[in-house]
Structure 1
Amino acid sequence: MASTTGNAFNMSLFRRLLSYTKPYKLTFYFVALSAILIAVVAIGMPYLIKVSIDEHIIPRQFDGFTTVIGMMTAVLIIDVLLQLSFIYYANWLGQQVIRDLRVKLFTHMMGFKMQYFDKSAVGKLVTRAVSDIETIASIFSQGLFVIISDLLKMVVVLGFMAYSSWKLTLIALIVMPFILYATRVFQKAMKVAFEEVRTQVSNLNSFVQERVTGMKIVQIFNREKVEYEQFKEINDKHRNAWVKTVWYNSIFFPIAEMASSITIGLIVYIGVVMNLGAEATTMAVEIGTIVMFIDLSQKLFRPLRQIADKFNTLQMGMVAANRVFAILDTESQIEDQGDLVAAHLKGDIEFKNVDFSYVDNELVLKNLSFKVASGETVAIVGATGAGKSTIINLLSRFYEINSGEILIDSASAKAYQLSSLRSQIAVVLQDVFLFADTILNNITLQNPDITEDDVIKAAQKIGVHDFIMTLPNGYHYNVKERGVMLSSGQRQLIAFLRAYVSNPSILILDEATSSVDAYSEQLIQDATDIITKGRTSIVIAHRLATIKKADKIIVMDAGEIVEIGSHSELLQKENGYYKNLYEVQFLQQEVA
């Protein structure tokens, strides 16, 4: 979506946003009707004040004065009720819209390819889903309907003024062109300023999110002063963006206030001059009319000032909407048009001439072909960057391949429904991610089909139960954000249990024991033996024990397979790649 910077208003974007009010059209119409009635009621009080002065106070005729006071009270009550309904339901409508929009945005983002998240700052995405969408709500609560109400109020007031005295109306309109021009210039300037504000808010959120997440690195490498200076610079830019909006407001509103005061002065002056020039027995303009026009001129100019202010709110919401819709319009979904349901897989896997690249023209996998039979445990070894982890990312369809084909049980991976395919593949990563929740919920991931008893039995079977019961509250122990209350080895054990209870047809272990202590490693090795039994398993190998037990070892280098065979077969190859790797790396582990 093109940026709206510099344009006072983007009507197509506004229409798109209004489409989200369709499920709540009755509320929308009620709020609109309230806005109209508020505009009509606006002239009631000034007119009744005129009647009080001209028909009762000046001539000292108080018959019926109580009735006028009663009418004033009724108008006041009606105005209060209308304002109450208007404010409540306008805000209610805004919250309903952003709830629906936020759900749609979050659902859309969950379907993105991993490649999208590789290139997008987390802080900016959080800003879009939380701060920007909250700003959109103000379009309905403080922007759109308030502007409509004020515009209608101005039309009604102006029409009534013209009906009451066209001469005084012309006086009130003398400064109107100047105010309208100033408002237009103000709106355009504020549009650009608010675009900059939202950009700086995103930058600030991204910076803070990354530094808080990586605070350990900041402190380990004594980066506090450097990060402080960077934060100060970003924060200054954020402040300057807001100061610019304050500057524009500080210019516009005093000008608008001065114009209103000049208009009132002219009405009083001309009204008095007209009366001085009239005959002694008559008045060209009644005193009550002059007072009424003073009040009506305020009701004419005050909405104009408010419209400029509310238009700022509207524009800020539109800027936020533009950013949110830019994500909604992003096409980065994995193709999910398969009709096969992977209720249970045998686990046969075949890569046929697969090419893949994260960046255009930089192949990570080159013409890759291999087979994994059902129930086999296959280890993949190679230097860093050889393409080992890429294979498992492609198998789970987190990325789309450039060319070739990936077959699972003799059917293309694309032929399966994406959710059903991933439900049959469990992955244990080297860097385990745990949510700020209980151990139980981190294992089941809120799956209603997995009970606590199922988790306990599985934990007992793979030898994890005793470790969990040593923690406060056992399975209901809250591990806090990213599992910081657990060691890396404990997090790995939780990840193994999470994979096991999902009962996958295919199990993937991505260097799952590379950074754990000896005790945890033994538990993980025992768990590995249990959960890999009878199911197809692919292991990104790091430890020697895993490699020796594998039915087959795939050796990779620079995105290509250089050797395939069992541990013993590969060791017999003179000057073989695996043999050299074993002697340099794995044999050292065995000696240690």
Structure 2
Amino acid sequence: MSTETSREEHRVTRANARPKIGPARRTGGPGPMGGQGVAEKAVSFGPSLRRLLGMMRPERLVFAVVIVMGIASVVGNVVGPKILGKATDVIFTGVVGKNLPAGVTKEQVIEMLRQAGNSQLADMVSGMNVIPGQGIDFTALGHWLLLALALYAAAAVLGFIQQFLLIRGVQRTVYRMRNLVNEKMDRLPLAYFDRQPRGELLSRITNDMDNVQQTLQQTLGQLLNSILTVIGVAVMMFTVSPMLAWLTLAIIPVAGVASVLIGKQAQKQFTSMWARTGELNGEVEEAYTGHALVKVFGRQHEVAAVFDDTNEKLFASSFRAQLISAIIMPVNFFIGNLNYVAIAVVGGLQVANGRMPLGNVQAFIQYSRMFTQPMTQIASMANLLQSGVASAERVFEVLDADEQAPDTEGALPETVEGHVEFRDVDFSYSADRPLIQRLSLEARPGQTIAIVGPTGAGKTTLVNLLERFYEIQGGQILLDGVDITSVPRADLRGKLGMVLQDTWLFGGTIRDNIAYGRPGATTDEVIDAAKAAHVDRFVHQLPHGYDTVINDEGTNISAGEKQLITIARAFIADPEVLILDEATSSVDTRTEVLVQQAMTRLRSGRTSFVIAHRLSTIRDADLILVMEHGAIVEQGTHDELLETKGAYHDLYQSQFAAAIEDAA
């Protein structure tokens, strides 16, 4: 595929502003350079995670309150088991005390038990605050239960406030990230989009961004609460029993090593999974937008085979990622259960020996569960975190892509006449394939310049350079004597208007699509432009006239009608310099005559560049440029070029002969 052909497939529609991603109706494949795809290897987990968290810096005050609320909530939750342990002691001592003889002291009961040979029971009673003959103290029991209830209720309220603030902070962070990506799109050069399959780029902006949002939403709150719970529970365990606390803490290194080893393997698979997701989206988008072409050439089976192959690879990488990360939770549950058994055995022996109240053992068992559960959650959240960071890296790759040269502070004259000059311009899409070298031309105000030549000659490239869709490597392009690189792109493109061979319409009404050429245009101005472009003659045949909504693929109007709407858009923009790139290629012969008449009126009084393959449409041009291999090989009027019997004569004769042959 030639460089020019591929550029023609990627004709831009960004004359005045880049439209939003999503509703574009253009078709075409990826660029001439092929798809850049995604990074095969993640940058690294640590730096990417730190950068992702750095995106949350503007919400640091909110997150500080979240942390405070989390600490308060965790305090209520971790103190609760110890309070319930006190309630358990009240019940247990009441039950034991009721079965002991009344009227004697605790010491006398212990001595009686030892004399009866119940030394173990005597040891247990000695460790209890029991009163012989007295049953359960319901006043004390109610006190401890109400206190526990109040603590849990307060913890729940604080937890709700924490989640509310966390959700707000995360959503605002992702909102800013989306804005950053959207603004980045405006600063990226056209060459970047040539290298990126559209489906792959959209996957980064939509799927990966959504995954980042879900990761932050689901992991931050749980991670914070889990860490605070682990710290709080550890402190409470040491206040209950240092020995059992050290026994519980012994599982941390074991669980940590297991989680790290498993997590590293999962990270590789998640990176591969999201890369395959982007690749699959690119193939689906390409097959969907080109479904008519696929059917025409009978390539459904080949497309389906490619889809099946990529889908199979996505399935394999997704399965491996989810399977490996899913192992983390059962492994940590197993380790936690071993610890639970050890605590039950050792704690039971401590109670039996009178060294620990039963309520403390009951509280410690709760603490062991509270300790291992967040540990397991932290490990299992590696699943989401690994996936989210892999997606964040793909978004960061877009944010880190090389941008186009920044705008300068120069200005065009207040009144632009349309004097365009190319002076010794050099340009190539790749360094090893030069295209345009030392090209010079001049278009005086009001002139119509026609550009002709074979495919790949550099015709569309020439006007793309004038629009600064690409930057020249040498020479100058001047508009009214001002170097176009010295003025902001928006100011330059505000003076230029383009009508392309590839029509671009967005999801809106016909009125909106025409008015896109001039924001704030009145209804009368829209109708005048529509009449000038002969849109008005078919609009009234539609169900809702100018308010007819163009559907997703623009199939409720014909290709020629879409082309007329884009021409009407150029009319309403009223640019000083007009660029027509095969603007009548999609209309029938009768409509072409009408459009040519409209174009003649549109070109009147302004500089126009007309790219055409049908030479009959540019016979009245003031100057015709014949291009081959990026160079102007001939220039002159129609009659002058025919007289020279050069390249233009050969082109004209080949078309004229073909027309006679077809007529015959």
* Contact kept in structure 2, 1:112 and 1:334, CA below 8 Å: no
The share of aligned pairs that are identical, in percent, is: 33
CA distance in 1, matches of 2:378, 2:618: 71
1:81-104 deviation line (CA, Å, top 9, x unaligned): 122222232222111111111111
* Contact kept in structure 1, 2:85 and 2:359, CA below 8 Å: yes
What does residue 426 of structure 2 align with? 355
CA distance in 1, matches of 2:541, 2:413: 38
1:194-232 deviation line (CA, Å, top 9, x unaligned): 111211111111111111111111211222222222211
* Contact kept in structure 1, 2:517 and 2:569, CA below 8 Å: no
Could you tell me how far 1:6 is from its partner in structure 2? Answer: 8.5
What does residue 273 of structure 1 align with? 349
Equivalent residue in structure 1 for 2:381, among 310, 314, 331: 310
Equivalent residue in structure 2 for 1:325, among 371, 379, 396: 396
Q: Are the structure 2 counterparts of residues 242 and 439 from structure 1 closer, same or farther at C-alpha, using a change threshold of 3 Å? A: same
Q: Are the structure 2 counterparts of residues 341 and 405 from structure 1 closer, same or farther at C-alpha, using a change threshold of 3 Å? A: closer
Matches within 5 A, 1:12-161: 12-59=47-94, 60-161=136-237
1:54-74 deviation line (CA, Å, top 9, x unaligned): 124432221222222222221
CA distance in 1, matches of 2:607, 2:235: 81
Could you tell me how far 1:2 is from its partner in structure 2? Answer: 9.0
Q: Are the structure 2 counterparts of residues 153 and 447 from structure 1 closer, same or farther at C-alpha, using a change threshold of 3 Å? A: farther
Asked if 1:382 is matched to 2:453, the reply is yes
CA distance in 2, matches of 1:343, 1:491: 34
Root-mean-square deviation (Å): 2.0
What does residue 585 of structure 1 align with? 655
SS of 2:407's equivalent? coil
* Contact kept in structure 2, 1:151 and 1:303, CA below 8 Å: yes
* Contact kept in structure 2, 1:555 and 1:562, CA below 8 Å: yes
The one-letter amino acid paired with 1:559 is G
What does residue 257 of structure 1 align with? 333
Per mean C-alpha deviation after superposition, the further-off stretch among 212-221 and 174-183 is 174-183
Per mean C-alpha deviation after superposition, the further-off stretch among 110-119 and 447-456 is 447-456
Q: Are the structure 2 counterparts of residues 377 and 2 from structure 1 closer, same or farther at C-alpha, using a change threshold of 3 Å? A: closer
* Contact kept in structure 2, 1:379 and 1:553, CA below 8 Å: yes
Could you tell me how far 1:343 is from its partner in structure 2? Answer: 5.2
Structure 2: tracts of 5 or more residues without a match: 1-37, 95-135
CA distance in 1, matches of 2:594, 2:526: 17
The one-letter amino acid paired with 1:227 is V
Could you tell me how far 1:446 is from its partner in structure 2? Answer: 7.9
* Contact kept in structure 1, 2:622 and 2:637, CA below 8 Å: yes
CA distance in 1, matches of 2:627, 2:601: 27
CA distance in 2, matches of 1:502, 1:220: 37
* Contact kept in structure 2, 1:341 and 1:417, CA below 8 Å: no
CA distance in 1, matches of 2:252, 2:232: 16
SS of 1:71's equivalent? helix
Number of paired residues? 584
* Contact kept in structure 1, 2:533 and 2:598, CA below 8 Å: yes
Equivalent residue in structure 1 for 2:598, among 497, 504, 527: 527
The one-letter amino acid paired with 1:539 is V
Equivalent residue in structure 2 for 1:189, among 261, 265, 268: 265
The one-letter amino acid paired with 2:188 is F
1:142-172 deviation line (CA, Å, top 9, x unaligned): 2234222211211111111012111221222
* Contact kept in structure 1, 2:43 and 2:393, CA below 8 Å: no
The one-letter amino acid paired with 2:61 is L
What does residue 512 of structure 1 align with? 583
CA distance in 2, matches of 1:4, 1:92: 33
SS of 1:253's equivalent? helix
Equivalent residue in structure 2 for 1:218, among 273, 288, 294: 294
Per mean C-alpha deviation after superposition, the further-off stretch among 441-450 and 316-325 is 441-450
The one-letter amino acid paired with 2:73 is I
1:425-461 deviation line (CA, Å, top 9, x unaligned): 1111111111121111111228533122211122223
Could you tell me how far 1:587 is from its partner in structure 2? Answer: 5.6
Per mean C-alpha deviation after superposition, the further-off stretch among 69-78 and 533-542 is 69-78
* Contact kept in structure 2, 1:438 and 1:475, CA below 8 Å: yes
SS of 1:537's equivalent? strand
Equivalent residue in structure 2 for 1:556, among 627, 639, 642: 627
What does residue 488 of structure 1 align with? 559
Could you tell me how far 1:548 is from its partner in structure 2? Answer: 1.1
Q: Are the structure 2 counterparts of residues 35 and 314 from structure 1 closer, same or farther at C-alpha, using a change threshold of 3 Å? A: farther
Q: Are the structure 2 counterparts of residues 496 and 2 from structure 1 closer, same or farther at C-alpha, using a change threshold of 3 Å? A: closer
* Contact kept in structure 2, 1:340 and 1:415, CA below 8 Å: yes
Could you tell me how far 1:107 is from its partner in structure 2? Answer: 1.6
Q: Are the structure 2 counterparts of residues 519 and 225 from structure 1 closer, same or farther at C-alpha, using a change threshold of 3 Å? A: same
CA distance in 2, matches of 1:222, 1:426: 38
Equivalent residue in structure 2 for 1:429, among 483, 488, 500: 500
Matches within 5 A, 1:403-414: 403-414=474-485
Q: Are the structure 2 counterparts of residues 572 and 392 from structure 1 closer, same or farther at C-alpha, using a change threshold of 3 Å? A: same
CA distance in 2, matches of 1:320, 1:342: 47
The one-letter amino acid paired with 2:168 is W
SS of 1:549's equivalent? coil
Per mean C-alpha deviation after superposition, the further-off stretch among 441-450 and 536-545 is 441-450
* Contact kept in structure 1, 2:74 and 2:155, CA below 8 Å: no
* Contact kept in structure 2, 1:356 and 1:366, CA below 8 Å: yes
Per mean C-alpha deviation after superposition, the further-off stretch among 121-130 and 445-454 is 445-454
Per mean C-alpha deviation after superposition, the further-off stretch among 26-35 and 535-544 is 26-35
Q: Are the structure 2 counterparts of residues 482 and 356 from structure 1 closer, same or farther at C-alpha, using a change threshold of 3 Å? A: farther
CA distance in 2, matches of 1:342, 1:200: 51
Could you tell me how far 1:576 is from its partner in structure 2? Answer: 1.5
Equivalent residue in structure 1 for 2:538, among 467, 491, 495: 467
Could you tell me how far 1:341 is from its partner in structure 2? Answer: 4.3
Could you tell me how far 1:539 is from its partner in structure 2? Answer: 0.3
* Contact kept in structure 2, 1:344 and 1:424, CA below 8 Å: no
CA distance in 2, matches of 1:86, 1:586: 78
Higher relative contact order (CA 8 A, sep 6+): 2
SS of 1:172's equivalent? helix
Could you tell me how far 1:362 is from its partner in structure 2? Answer: 1.0
Could you tell me how far 1:543 is from its partner in structure 2? Answer: 2.8
SS of 1:332's equivalent? coil
Could you tell me how far 1:13 is from its partner in structure 2? Answer: 3.2
The one-letter amino acid paired with 1:582 is Y
CA distance in 2, matches of 1:561, 1:290: 93
* Contact kept in structure 2, 1:95 and 1:137, CA below 8 Å: yes
What does residue 21 of structure 2 align with? none
CA distance in 1, matches of 2:61, 2:553: 44
Structure 1: tracts of 5 or more residues without a match: none
What does residue 576 of structure 1 align with? 646
Could you tell me how far 1:288 is from its partner in structure 2? Answer: 1.0
* Contact kept in structure 2, 1:91 and 1:137, CA below 8 Å: no
The one-letter amino acid paired with 2:438 is N
* Contact kept in structure 2, 1:94 and 1:141, CA below 8 Å: yes
* Contact kept in structure 2, 1:3 and 1:322, CA below 8 Å: no
* Contact kept in structure 2, 1:353 and 1:369, CA below 8 Å: yes
Could you tell me how far 1:489 is from its partner in structure 2? Answer: 1.1
Could you tell me how far 1:138 is from its partner in structure 2? Answer: 3.1
Could you tell me how far 1:273 is from its partner in structure 2? Answer: 2.2
Could you tell me how far 1:334 is from its partner in structure 2? Answer: 4.1
